[in-house]
Amino acid sequence: MLLALSILLPRNNIVTVEADTEIVSYKLVNTELSIFDVQGADLYSDPFSSEPTEHINQAGSYIRLTENTNVEIRKRENDEVVYITLSTKSLSVGSIYLPNGSISLGPWANLSIDLTLAPVPRLLPFRGKLTLGEDVAPGIENILLSGSVSIAEQQLGMFSRERYLLLESKLEKGDRVLVRSATKDEGAVSDGFVRVTYGETLSVVAHTSDGEVHVIRFGSAGYRISPSVWARVINDPSLSWVTALLGILLLSVELVLAITQIASRAVDHEGRN
């Protein structure tokens, strides 16, 4: 009974998504993890204009986004520019801070950042609801290229801090990945970052302890990445000795029964003689 409960009862998991992708989007839920460098950016404040509102070339220029801002980042491998589109239903997506002032933004903005001006890798941290890739369809130019999903689960024990690798699943080129809440019909909050590097695609790492991964795969209905009970039995080190002991006990019982049957047959045989 206790073994069954230890196998079936839910535990705390950390779901990690890693991907190389040409497009990533998320909806921010925390402004403290929304600050990143915008040196080399052309700022477009009007979605219907092809002329930039500002050229931001000063070192030390950065943007701070507001809560509930939708962020979409696009970059292909050989692009010298990374494109960041910001939108919100409120009044402002945030502000850009320069060494000599600041720029308040409206409900929409687009940043085209020239990476040749500062070719060192840039990290864009976030806490938000994450989507990777795009549905494969005519007119789509940016997709997920590769990646993986792993789940690290808490070992048996209420106060245990030890974790083990419960499951690992590979993502395929063209997948669309959504990190969803395991208990509600909405996106789960992930903590992560996007690494933007000159001459490479976007590299994304994100973690969540309150979500599961949904994969939409071209040509299929998609699927949900979720570990089975059997995966826990096989991989949990704290259960392995229990299952091994149970196996030994069952083998011992079988052996005792076999010996008893042999002895009983021997007695019956001697009785008939």
pLDDT tens digits for range 111-154 = 999 988 777 889 999 999 999 999 888 888 899 999 999 988 77
Task: Please give the pLDDT value at position 150.
Answer: 92
253 pLDDT more than 90: no
Q: Indicate whether 210 and 248 sit together in one domain.
A: no
Task: Give, in degrees to the nearest 5, the angle at Cα 20 between 137 and 33.
Answer: 105
Q: Indicate whether 121 and 242 sit together in one domain.
A: no
Q: Indicate whether 204 and 258 sit together in one domain.
A: no
**Stated pTM of the model:** 0.80
Chain Cα centroid distance, residue 153 = 15
Which of 23-32, 81-90, 122-131, 239-248 has the lowest average pLDDT? Answer: 239-248
157 pLDDT more than 60: no
Q: Indicate whether 22 and 100 sit together in one domain.
A: yes
Task: Please give the pLDDT value at position 2.
Answer: 47
Nearest to 20 by CA among 146, 151, 165, 141: 146
CA distance 129 to 127: 7
Q: Indicate whether 34 and 126 sit together in one domain.
A: yes
CA distance 172 to 223: 13
> What mean pLDDT comes out for the span 82-102?
95
Q: Indicate whether 160 and 181 sit together in one domain.
A: yes
Q: Indicate whether 24 and 65 sit together in one domain.
A: yes
108-133 burial: b if 16+ Cβ within 10 Å, else e = bbbbebbbeeeeeebebebbbbbbbb
CA 190 to each of CA 27, 36, 187: distance values in angstroms, whole numbers, following the listed order: 10, 18, 9
Parallel/antiparallel/unpaired status of strands 41-44 and 54-56: antiparallel
3 pLDDT more than 50: no
> What mean pLDDT comes out for the span 212-238?
74
Which of 7-21, 229-243, 249-263 has the lowest average pLDDT? Answer: 229-243
Chain Cα centroid distance, residue 124 = 15
- The residue written with tokens 């945030």 in the block is 94
Tell me the three state secondary structure of residue 235.
Answer: helix
Q: Indicate whether 86 and 214 sit together in one domain.
A: yes
CA distance 212 to 149: 10
Task: Please give the pLDDT value at position 211.
Answer: 81
Domain count for the chain: 2
Which of 60-64, 90-94, 152-156 has the lowest average pLDDT? Answer: 152-156
Task: Please give the pLDDT value at position 269.
Answer: 57
Q: Indicate whether 154 and 245 sit together in one domain.
A: no
- Across the chain, what does the average pLDDT equal? 84
Task: Please give the pLDDT value at position 263.
Answer: 64
> What mean pLDDT comes out for the span 196-220?
90
Q: Indicate whether 263 and 141 sit together in one domain.
A: no
Task: Please give the pLDDT value at position 23.
Answer: 96
259 pLDDT more than 90: no
Query: Which residues form the domain of 264?
Result: 237-273
Q: Indicate whether 161 and 222 sit together in one domain.
A: yes
Q: Indicate whether 219 and 256 sit together in one domain.
A: no
- Residue of higher predicted confidence among 183 and 178: 178
Task: Please give the pLDDT value at position 124.
Answer: 94
